Amino acid sequence: MTIAPRPRRPPPRRRRWPRVLLLVLALVAAFVVGIGLGEALHDNPDPGGAQTVVRTLHPLPLVPVAQNTVTVTVRR
């Protein structure tokens, strides 16, 4: 008695379009989130930016110099 091998059935075909659709939707979502983040960073000013203050300084009056004459003698 000889038993012939059963013919193999081809594996069931998987549908590709759900995976492709999911991948496309994920890429579009990542793109939209990236654009939103970029716009938010672009619109927001830097916190604690530089501030310039302009002031005019007036000179103080000079103290009068003493009118004494001092003589210093040095011996060698």
Determine, yes or no, domain membership for 12. Answer: no
Task: Give the pLDDT of the chain (76 residues) as one tens digit per residue.
Answer: 677 778 888 887 778 888 999 999 999 999 999 999 999 888 876 677 778 899 999 999 988 877 888 888 998 8
Q: Structural domain tally of the chain?
A: 1
Domain coverage including residue 33: 17-43
Q: Is residue 22 domain-resident?
A: yes
In a domain, 27, yes or no: yes
Q: Which pLDDT score is estimated for 59?
A: 92
Angle formed at CA 24 by CA 19 and CA 34, multiple of 5 degrees: 140
- pLDDT value at position 46? 67
Q: Measured between alpha carbons, how far is 21 from 28 in angstroms, rounded to an integer?
A: 11
Q: Which two tokens stand for residue 46?
A: 């830097």
What's the pTM? 0.44
Is 50 inside a domain boundary? no
Q: What pLDDT was estimated at residue 1?
A: 64
